[in-house]
Amino acid sequence: MSTWGRIAGIAGIATGVIGAAALGGVTAQRRAVRRYHVTATGEDPGEPYDALEADRVYSVVADDGVVLHVEESGPVDADLTIVFAHGWTLRSGAWHFQRLGLAGPGFGSGDGPVARMVFYDQRSHGRSGRADEDHVTMADLAGDLAAVIATAVPDGPIAIIGHSMGGMATMTLAGLRPDLFAERVHGVGLVSTAATRMALPGIGRTLISTGNPLFRAVTATAARYPKVIERTRSGSRDAVWLLTRTLGFSRENVPGDLVDYLDEMISSVPIEVIADFIPAVMNVDTADALPALADIPTVLIVGDKDRMTPMSRTEFIAEALPRAEMVVIPDAGHMAMMEAPVEVNDALRPMLLAAVEHAAAATAAREAAR
Domain annotation covers residue 123: yes
pLDDT in tens, 278-294: 889 989 999 999 999 99
Amino acid at 337: M
> How many C-beta neighbours within 10 Å does residue 55 have?
12
Total domain count, the chain? 1
Give DSSP secondary structure letters for 134-199.
Answer: TS-SHHHHHHHHHHHHHHH-SSS-EEEEEETHHHHHHHHHHHH-HHHHHHTEEEEEEES--SS---
CA-to-CA distance for 92 and 70, rounded, in angstroms? 9
If you average pLDDT over residues 151-164, what whole number do you get? 98
CA-to-CA distance for 246 and 333, rounded, in angstroms? 9
Domain annotation covers residue 297: yes
Q: Is the pLDDT of residue 243 over 50?
A: yes
- Average per-residue pLDDT in the chain? 86
Domain annotation covers residue 41: yes
Domain annotation covers residue 228: no
Residue 191's DSSP bridge partners are: 163, 301
Domain annotation covers residue 227: no
If you average pLDDT over residues 295-303, what whole number do you get? 99
Q: Is the pLDDT of residue 299 over 50?
A: yes
Amino acid at 299: V
Instruction: Say if residues 75 and 104 touch (Cβ distance below 8 Å).
Output: no
pLDDT in tens, 114-133: 999 999 999 999 999 999 98
Report pLDDT for 97.
Answer: 96
Residue 158's DSSP bridge partners are: 81, 185
Report pLDDT for 50.
Answer: 86
CA-to-CA distance for 247 and 243, rounded, in angstroms? 6
pLDDT level of residue 206 (50, 70, 90 thresholds): low
CA 217 from centre of chain = 26
Q: Which residue has the higher pLDDT, 196 or 229?
A: 196
Q: Is the pLDDT of residue 16 over 50?
A: no
Least trusted range by pLDDT, from 6-20, 137-151, 223-237: 6-20
Report pLDDT for 227.
Answer: 61
Q: Is the pLDDT of residue 45 over 80?
A: no
Domain annotation covers residue 293: yes
Q: Is the pLDDT of residue 14 over 60?
A: no
Domain annotation covers residue 15: yes
Strand (E) positions, the chain?
Answer: 56-61, 67-73, 80-85, 115-120, 158-163, 185-191, 298-303, 325-329
Q: Is the pLDDT of residue 156 over 60?
A: yes
* Residue 67 belongs to domain spanning: 1-222+233-370
Give DSSP secondary structure letters for 246-282.
Answer: HHH---TT--HHHHHHHHHHHHTS-HHHHHHHHHHHH
User: Rg of the chain's alpha carbons, rounded to an integer?
Assistant: 20
Domain annotation covers residue 28: yes
pLDDT level of residue 236 (50, 70, 90 thresholds): low
**Which CATH number fits the domain that encloses residue 240?**
3.40.50.1820
Report pLDDT for 10.
Answer: 37
Dihedral of alpha carbons 40, 41, 42, 48, sign = positive
Dihedral of alpha carbons 83, 250, 321, 358, sign = positive
* pTM summary value: 0.85
